[in-house]
Structure 1
Amino acid sequence: MDTNAVLTVPPASPADALAFFTRQLAFRTDVADVHSALEADAPGFTLVDSRGQAAWDQGRAPGAVHLPTDQIAARAAAEIDKSLPVVVYCWGPGCNGAYRAAVEFARLGYQVKEMIGGMEYWIREGLPVATDEGTERGEPDPRTVPVSGVSCAC
């Protein structure tokens, strides 16, 4: 019997899948959940944009703190409350900058999660983008999010 590429390696047992996916949720969150928590005004975490100055100036998630990855070790203790978890983001799924930022925060003893999708999916979902001139909200990309709102109800 020929096996297709999906099943060449069999799926994990339900117990292993439960452990794996539960662990994933301990390390990652998504843009819709971050936005929803920020809208509640007491998210319980600090959102950190780990990109460089030019990217920050171009646009960022409202409420984010700007702390480029190469400055985390020097500045985090003075600027980021260690009693709150940190959620980091960079450009998007094609960039590992959020991973590097998460490593730096973890080395310093912070609880940390990555916002999967980064700024790319923040924008693609039509969420507000802040600049020094104000905040704008673009149209959601109908290929990535329901155009009626920011929730896929998942």
Structure 2
Amino acid sequence: MTATSAVLAFPPFSAQQSEALLRDKLAHYADAWDTAQDLANGIVAIGVIDTRSVEQYRAGHICGAVSFPHRMMTAETLAALDREKVYVTYCDGIGCNGSTKGALKLAAAGYRVKELIGGLDFWLRDHHPVAQGDAPGEWPSQSTKEGCGC
């Protein structure tokens, strides 16, 4: 009896099609490691937005992230953002779509945006620094270098 491949039951795209798809995917998403590296290196071209509630933000958020709950995003409230930045939105994790709703509102208002893969859940899993309270917090001078290192 010859085994049938579950992986190959649906043939893959051509290499060129795969390259285009994967570039598109990377254009839409950022991961915790890349975002942490940019924050640690003081890259000002990105801004990180926590789309969860203010209460959740206060309990713990990515160092340097600003609180901007997706439910409070309107054309008027978004107007205060810097149009030169690329914004990375996040929420609790893969079971939450707050970052998608926030990213959609930002994109619809003309801002460039990416979503953070895995949200705060993956951020914490990779041992990146968090802050508490109302302020974005400062990136620590000595942050942990654990995580995937991709």
- TM-score normalised over the length of structure 1: 0.84
Output the CA distance in 1 between the equivalents of 2:146 and 2:28: 22
Output the CA distance in 1 between the equivalents of 2:22 and 2:134: 40
- For residue 23 of structure 1, what is the amino acid of its counterpart? D
Q: Is the Cα contact below 8 Å between 2:58 and 2:134 reproduced in 1?
A: no
- How much has 1:7 moved relative to structure 2? 1.7
Instruction: Flag the 1:133–1:110 CA change in 2: closer, same or farther, 3 A.
Output: closer
Residue range with higher mean Cα deviation, 84-93 or 126-135:
126-135
Match of 2:62 in 1: 61
Match of 1:118 in 2: 119
Output the CA distance in 2 between the equivalents of 1:94 and 1:66: 20
**RMSD across aligned positions (CA):** 1.9
Q: Deviations over 1:13-67 (max 9, x none)?
A: 1011000000011101101110110011124111100001221111000100110
Structure 1 unaligned runs (5+)?
Answer: 136-147
Output the CA distance in 2 between the equivalents of 1:2 and 1:21: 30
- Which structure exhibits the higher relative contact order, with contacts defined as CA atoms closer than 8 Å and separated by 6 or more residues? 2
Match of 1:45 in 2: 46
- TM-score normalised over the length of structure 2: 0.86
Report the 3-state secondary structure (helix = DSSP H, G, I; strand = E; otherwise coil) of the residue aligned with 2:38: helix
Q: Percent identity?
A: 34
* Count of aligned pairs: 141
